[in-house]
Each structure stands twice: as structure tokens, then as C-alpha cells.
A and B are shown apart, each in its own frame.
Chain A
């Protein structure tokens, strides 16, 4: 679906072809149209200034030019990533995993991209690479590439929790990078990522404490940013616009290091967020029956293999720890701009941190109220009884007539 100019992409970033004459003016016009037609509920209004802002670098300009739709897109959900590509392998022989086919008939090769940032952060994340992108020849083991695309949450199934061959596994949400364009990374550019999201805060924050040292904690808020983009038709001049809504998790520190972080803590606020991709480790809920079933099956399999009791116990504990620990990519927020809405006050933020989160945190269902006194119920039923017709139609002797017909 994506029309990509490979010659342009394969050129060094500084040598990108010049935009056609009138491109800047067209961009402005397109953004205005997008605000009017594709913004939708609460997102289109007020973001025009943001979308009209000049792209920060060549990579973003490349994404905007090559975005799905062929001619132009918008920059409401943009991710630029520089790292090393690795083909996913499995098994003791390191055999490459085969490509997976989507229900729509497309085949995607499983790759990961490894990122080692200068600050010491190192991680890898999955990529779904379509056959068309594979044709570029850039996706080879160890190749260093610059990838541009958009991030979104996608539901997948964790096969580690499958308890029988036909079981798809545990449904889980994973942050995916939809690769739109790829190019060789410049030699001098360090590994890293840059994400820009323009959208609305979806729901309240979940607050947690990030332990950064012995007894030292930093409050972190996890929010979701809903970005709505408008895809234009592949035919120039067509009037149809197609909305594309994505949801992306974002973490923001509440220790004062990010200015205007309070703007992300209120549902419905329209914001511009810039940050980088970060892996977030979380603990799965061990009370989930599917997780319990998978843990029990794993434990049974380990016991079936046999071994010394201490060794078996260690292996079981390690397997439990591994299965209960999950990693999800999120956007580590480094810049927030409030476009529309209201930021929480310092007092409200302090109260939110003390309460441990907003409405997204699910409380235990309330216990059923105790039944009222029996005398109250009987009195109410007596009153209802007296309110009924003293002699119901059905009890009146029917002398040839049908009471319900008057």
C-alpha cells in the first residue's frame, strides 16, 4: 500500500532529493485539510499549529513524504530508529524463524532491531518487515539501518503461555513499530530513537514508583496517547479520507525533570509529546487463571523431566520468574506541549501520586451491600401489595366477557 521512493531512501540523508516546487505550500494546505476532516472528536481542533511546524530533520521529512497514501501524510505519530537489524532465530541450531503470514495474505519476516544508545541503554524490539521492504536488501543480519515509521499497540499472543498445541497463548498488548521507510544509517549517527506523538491523552494515568537506588524512588506516570491520522486516497484529487487511530503508551517522570508533565495526567488533553522508545519491565498478574494454568503446565513439564529435587525446584522458580516478567516498549517522554486542555496543578499531581494513580487503576469490585433489615423489606412488600388492584381481573368471575378486552 505504501508507495516508497527507494532511490530517495537509499541516498545518504544529506543527499535527499529536493522537494518539488510548491511542496511547502502544499504541506500547509494538506495539514489544514487534515485538521478539518481527519481530526475527529477533540483531536483535530487546535493541533494545526503543531502539524504546521517544520519537520525537525531529514528523517521526519522522509516519513512525511513517504507515508501511506503515496503523496503526503502527517506527523502525528512518527518514530525514527537507528540500530542494528537481527533476524530472529530459535532453537539450539539458531535456525531462522520463518516468515509469518497474516490473515490478509501478506508475509512478514520476523526481525529485531538492537539499539545501543550512547547513554548505556541497550535493548531490542520486534519488527515486522514486509516482503516489499525485504526487497531493499537492507534487512540482513548485522546491518545498521535507520528506520522510520509509527508506533502503536497491537494485540498478540504470547506462545510461552500456551498449554496445549492448539492454544494460541496469552493475549497481550505489544508496542509495534510499523516500518514505513528504511535507509542505511549514517556512520556518524549514534544508535537511538526519536518519537513524536500528536494526539489526546486517553484515560487517566497509572502511577508507579521507579526504584533508582536504595530507598530512592521516582514517581512515573504511564499514560496512553491516542493519535488519529488521516490517510488520503492513493489517487490524487480523491476526496475520501480514512481515519487511522493508534494508541501508544508513554511514560513520563513526575520528579520535575520534564516540564509540563502534568499536562499528560488529565484525560482528553490534547498534547504534543516527544521522547524515545524505552523498554519497561512489568510483572504479570499471577492471579490470572490463564497464567496460573500455564505456570502449572510448565511446572509439570519440568517435574516430568526429573532431576535432583533442589535442581527441579530451582528450575521451576526460574521458569516462574521468567514467565511472570514481561517487557513492553513504551515512549519515554522528554518533551510535552499542551495544545488544548488543562494541566493538573501541583497539588493535584501530589494527590494523584499519593493515591497511586487515576481511574485506570482497577479497584477490587465492591462487596455486595448487606441486605436491608427484613422488617423494611416486608413493610415495602406490604405497601406494594396494597397498591395492587383489590380484586384482580383474573379473580373476577367472568360472565361471558373477557376482562382484558374491557
Chain B
């Protein structure tokens, strides 16, 4: 969980949100990655004490986010994507170390990925498989071809992201970790 990843994408407005455990406030935004190890929609946050001036964060623009995978539950605000099993909350996947306006030149560094273990047998969706992960509650592992989810194989998370859907007037979020067989990851490295 300590590997630093870089994502390039469009950010939403940065807003204050309360941690669900009551330990403080974070400044968070939704990121739609266009490049880097991210797909779909990802919640990104910064602890408030590290942001002396939130207006300086790149909002509604292409940004380069340097972050680590450190999921955090926060109370959802109007306009947030919510968790289906906790409608008042949402999950922000990435703790940003740095958020900069992208200069449209600098490429994102590749993410080495992280090994994961499945918490339950996968569920088949289309040609792929979806499974809960042991170390990342509320995050689903997704393998588009299902190859990474065979029982007994080692899977590696290669990209973070999420999908959203509008149902009943609200937007719902499924945080995801794209999985690949460990062999792919080794070959890539």
C-alpha cells in the first residue's frame, strides 16, 4: 500500500469532508483519470492540516496527482458518489501527497502495483470476475477476463478506479482495483 502512483486526470471542486471515524477533516475531490494507473472515478483526499490554502489546489482542470492507495471513509455530501451499503458515506481511495496542475508534458510514472488476496470467491460479470478483497474492505477486485481470480493464484492490483451509476436520484460508487495475474505484473516489471 506504500507504492506511490501518479495519475493525470480532471478533478472536481475540492471540498471539505468529515472523516467517518470523527478524527478530522480532509479536503477531497473526485478525479477522472485519463492517464496513469487509474480508471473511471477515484476519490482523492488530503488531510486538512497539509492544505493551508485549498483554493490553490487544481480544481476542475487537468491535474497531476501523486498519491498512495489509502482508502478513507468520509461522510458524503450532496453530489458525492455514495456507497450502496452505506448511503451516507463514500470511500476515497487515494491519499494525495501532491496535487499539481498538469503541465501537459510530464508523463505519469508507472505504478508497480500491489499484491492482494481475495476475501471471497469471485462473482462472474460478463466475461470477467468481481471479488471482495481481504485487505481493502469496500474495494472490489475486478479482472476483466477473470484470469486473475482463479482460486489459488496470486493477483496483483495494477490500477485503481471506480464505476458509478445513477439510481433513485443518487449516484452510487463501486471502488475497484483492476487485477492482473502475478505473471503479467512480473513481466511488466
Footprint of B on A, CB under 8 Å?
369-372, 374, 376-378, 380-386, 388-395, 397-398, 402-405
Q: For the complex, would chain B's binding face be called helix, strand, loop or mixed by DSSP majority?
A: strand
Interface 9-residue window, one of B13-21, B24-32, B34-42, B131-139: B34-42
Partner of B172, one of A370, A381, A391: A381
Decide yes or no: A372 and B167 within 8 Å by CB, A394-B38, A402-B35 being known contacts: yes
Q: Which residues 19-65 in B have Cβ within 8 Å of A in the complex?
A: 33-40
A48 → chain B closest CB, angstroms: 47
A402 to B108: give the CA distance in the assembly, Å: 9
Partner of B144, one of A376, A381, A390, A402: A390
Query: 14 extra interchain contacts, Cβ-Cβ under 8 A, other than A404-B34, A405-B107?
Result: A369-B169, A372-B167, A377-B172, A380-B167, A382-B130, A385-B126, A385-B176, A386-B126, A389-B39, A394-B38, A395-B178, A395-B180, A398-B110, A404-B8
15 A-B residue pairs with CB within 8 Å = A371-B87, A377-B167, A385-B125, A385-B126, A386-B126, A388-B39, A389-B39, A390-B127, A391-B144, A392-B39, A392-B159, A392-B178, A403-B35, A404-B35, A404-B108
A395 → chain B closest CB, angstroms: 5
Whether B70 is near chain A, meaning CB under 8 Å from some CB there, is no
A52 → chain B closest CB, angstroms: 52
A38 to B125: give the CA distance in the assembly, Å: 66
Footprint of A on B, CB under 8 Å?
8, 33-40, 84-85, 87, 107-108, 110-111, 125-128, 130, 142, 144-145, 158-159, 161, 163-170, 172, 174, 176, 178, 180, 184, 187-188
A366 → chain B closest CB, angstroms: 11
A392 → chain B closest CB, angstroms: 4
A359 to B97: give the CA distance in the assembly, Å: 49
Q: Once the chains bind, are A371 and B163 in contact (CB under 8 Å)?
A: no
Q: Once the chains bind, are A381 and B165 in contact (CB under 8 Å)?
A: yes
Q: Once the chains bind, are B187 and A385 in contact (CB under 8 Å)?
A: no
* Residues of chain B lying within 8 A (CB to CB) of residue A392: 39, 159, 161, 178
* Residues of chain B lying within 8 A (CB to CB) of residue A384: 163-165, 174
Closest to B159 in A: A394
Closest to A393 in B: B35
A383 → chain B closest CB, angstroms: 7
B5 → chain A closest CB, angstroms: 9
* Residues of chain B lying within 8 A (CB to CB) of residue A395: 158-159, 178, 180
